[in-house]
Amino acid sequence: MRTLELLAPAGNADIAIEAILHGADAVYIGASSHGARHNAANSIDDIKRVVDFAHVFRAKVYVTVNTIIYDREIMRVERLISNLYAAGVDAIIVQDMGILRMNIPPIELHASTQCDIRTPEKARFLQEAGFSQLVLPRELTLEEISRIAENVSIPIECFVHGALCVSYSGRCHASMATCGRSANRGECAQICRLPFTLTDADGKIIAKDKHLLSLRDLNTIDILPRLVEAGVSSFKIEGRLKDAQYVKNTVAAYRQARVSIIAGNPESYKRSSCGISDISFTPELSKSFNRGFTHYCLARRRPETLARMLTPKSMGELISDPSMLNNGDGISFFDSKGNYTGDVVNGVEGNRIITSRNLRIPRGAEIHRTFDRVRDKQLQRSTATRKIRVSFLIDAAGASAADERGNFVRLPLDCTPEEAKKEPDYSSYFAKLGNTPYIMESFASRLPALSFIPAAEIVGLRRRLIAMLDEANLTTYPYSYRKSENREARYMTERLDFRDNVANGLARQFYHEHGVKKIEPAMEIKGGSIAKGTRLMTTRHCILRELGMCRKEKGLGRYAEPLTISSGRESYHLEFNCRDCEMHLLK
């Protein structure tokens, strides 16, 4: 049986706990430094709080240490990873191969999507290097994922929902070149969300002030079974900068999908954690932040449309009838000048929407609700519980408890049963589990008929059995450890350039020992001005295809190359690799 894991984002400890309550099998959270989301850092104490909560349900905690690392930071990162290991973290997600040469405990390593794992050869090498799980790029097709999964024996992790990076992850240097803010250091300036003007070599404007690089958000909930068939075992929701309401809603939605897949294939798949989540709302993905949805390249190598060129802001849910709106809701629409704007609803009169600023909504405009006041208020409250199922047995010798995690404990009776006038209802005592993480699944009594045990004794047995289950879970929690590295494994190429992000001596040592002979330092190390013609980004999103100008389908367009996109003072030349259906941005 293959284990399926729903992996949720957490910007902080409280959100991580909510994700687990709503059905996540694992969470990923940023450490105090060196996480690819600079503004989502957490202390060791907070991470320990998440670990203690998650492990009750056999849910796992992965911590991102997935930026490149400078030589002067190596000792600091070694201490960080040692502290994470001591806190009980299940694995760290890494990009920098220098970590494999650091003096660290044997903690499990996952290869970040920043490692750019696009081929079976790269995946096999990282498995040989000692990684236990591989996070694949968002751009792959189902067929490409399947080929990678067939060539490794470790779990494959894929993004299933959330924001999309337009570039291959780990290989975008536009922010660094433009703003001096490295995406490989968790400081991406997100220039891809800016409006750009597209011109040809003669200065002809092809598109003006459009968000040409701003992609829609990923949503795979309707094709999740196909991802499972392709070999994906861990389903990753993007969003470490999102709020708790977003995480609750998306986790609850994908939990339902995972439950359905396992229920339909009980002999093939099982979940990776324990506990029943009871959720008090109906998840609706369109009600959370989204820029419109896409499968990206999963179903088609060349999807017809990927970008949301008119705005990078949330589109929310489409409102077909104004009566659906409530006072206090936030709405957005395109005004008569084509600007995406919004306001707060003050009231609805028939088909007329009254806003706080009395904005004029053009006739026929699409109205999107980007803030649902009633739902937001609901999601700000406690909306889920999660309980471990436990079965109790009592007989003349004592009482026992067995839970769904595989723990079994037993206690002797401290008294001799007396004779009763009628059969006591012992199950009601064992069912009173209060604020513990347990719920009684079954109770059985094998006591002689009309046997009486004082209520105080029964209550004491229940309390001690629960405490013993807690202790048993701590001592039997199934930690995994770093896999051994095959030092004889050869890297796929003997030469690395700045796009391979080698930023420290330990990373150079790692690659040299695996057969790489020439290594160019990372752009962040090189410093200085960026040479004209430097490739800053490679993407499967093609502006020509998006504008209906695909060469493969329409032939050469009526424009002079090279094409250029510009925003403010910054401009980038475009190159098109039509054979592989890729676009490159050059300085």
**How would you class 455 by CB atoms within 10 Å of its CB: exposed for 0-12, middle for 13-18, buried for 19 or more?**
exposed
442 plus 363 within the same structural domain: no
User: What's the confidence (pLDDT) of residue 304?
Assistant: 74
pLDDT, tens digit (0-9, with 9 covering 90-100), for 466-477: 999 999 999 999
Q: Is residue 527 part of a domain?
A: yes
Average pLDDT over all residues of the chain: 94
6 plus 43 within the same structural domain: yes
Average pLDDT over residues 536-541: 95
User: What's the confidence (pLDDT) of residue 557?
Assistant: 64
pLDDT band at 528 (very low <50, low <70, confident <90, very high): low
pLDDT, tens digit (0-9, with 9 covering 90-100), for 96-115: 999 999 999 999 999 999 99
User: What's the confidence (pLDDT) of residue 415?
Assistant: 72
Calpha distance 440→450 (Å, rounded): 23
User: What's the confidence (pLDDT) of residue 417?
Assistant: 72
pLDDT, tens digit (0-9, with 9 covering 90-100), for 335-392: 988 889 999 999 999 888 999 998 889 988 999 999 999 999 999 999 999 999 999 9
Compare 422 and 289 and report the one with higher pLDDT.
Answer: 289
User: What's the confidence (pLDDT) of residue 556?
Assistant: 59
* Last residue of one domain, picked from the residues 363, 380, 397: 380
Q: Is residue 78 part of a domain?
A: yes
115 plus 203 within the same structural domain: no
pLDDT exceeds 70 at position 116: yes
**492: number of Cβ within 10 Å:** 12
Minimum mean pLDDT among 54-63, 82-91, 426-435: which range?
Answer: 426-435
Average pLDDT over residues 154-182: 94
Query: CA nearest 99: which of 78, 82, 116, 119?
Result: 78
* Cβ–Cβ < 8 Å for 198, 572: no
Rounded to two decimals, the pTM is 0.95
pLDDT band at 432 (very low <50, low <70, confident <90, very high): very high
pLDDT exceeds 80 at position 419: no
User: What's the confidence (pLDDT) of residue 437?
Assistant: 98
Q: Please give the span between the terminal C-alpha atoms of the chain, in angstroms, as a whole number.
A: 49
63 plus 12 within the same structural domain: yes
Calpha distance 396→537 (Å, rounded): 72
* Cβ–Cβ < 8 Å for 469, 409: yes
pLDDT band at 551 (very low <50, low <70, confident <90, very high): confident
Q: Report residue 559 as tokens.
A: 């424009």
* Cβ–Cβ < 8 Å for 57, 477: no
426 plus 557 within the same structural domain: no
pLDDT, tens digit (0-9, with 9 covering 90-100), for 24-72: 999 999 999 888 677 778 999 999 999 999 999 999 999 999 999 999 9
Calpha distance 31→52 (Å, rounded): 16
* Cβ–Cβ < 8 Å for 25, 6: yes
* Last residue of one domain, picked from the residues 361, 380, 399: 380
15 plus 123 within the same structural domain: yes
Q: Give the whole-number percent of the chain exceeding pLDDT 70.
A: 98
Q: Is residue 177 part of a domain?
A: yes
Q: Is residue 182 part of a domain?
A: yes
pLDDT, tens digit (0-9, with 9 covering 90-100), for 233-289: 999 999 999 999 999 999 999 999 999 999 999 999 999 999 999 999 999 999 999
User: What's the confidence (pLDDT) of residue 397?
Assistant: 84
User: What's the confidence (pLDDT) of residue 228?
Assistant: 98
**137: number of Cβ within 10 Å:** 23
Average pLDDT over residues 165-193: 92
133 plus 14 within the same structural domain: yes
175 plus 152 within the same structural domain: no
Q: Is residue 324 part of a domain?
A: yes
Q: Is residue 373 part of a domain?
A: yes
- Number of domains the chain contains: 4
442 plus 312 within the same structural domain: no
467 plus 526 within the same structural domain: no
User: What's the confidence (pLDDT) of residue 297?
Assistant: 93
* Last residue of one domain, picked from the residues 380, 410, 443: 380
357 plus 428 within the same structural domain: no
User: What's the confidence (pLDDT) of residue 583?
Assistant: 95
Q: Is residue 485 part of a domain?
A: no
358 plus 274 within the same structural domain: no
pLDDT exceeds 90 at position 414: no
Range of the domain at 315: 293-380
AA letter at 58: R
AA letter at 398: G
Q: Is residue 82 part of a domain?
A: yes
Average pLDDT over residues 525-532: 78
Query: CA nearest 503: which of 71, 92, 157?
Result: 71
User: What's the confidence (pLDDT) of residue 455?
Assistant: 85
User: What's the confidence (pLDDT) of residue 453?
Assistant: 83
Q: Report residue 251 as tokens.
A: 């986790």
- CATH number of the CATH domain containing 62: 3.20.20.70
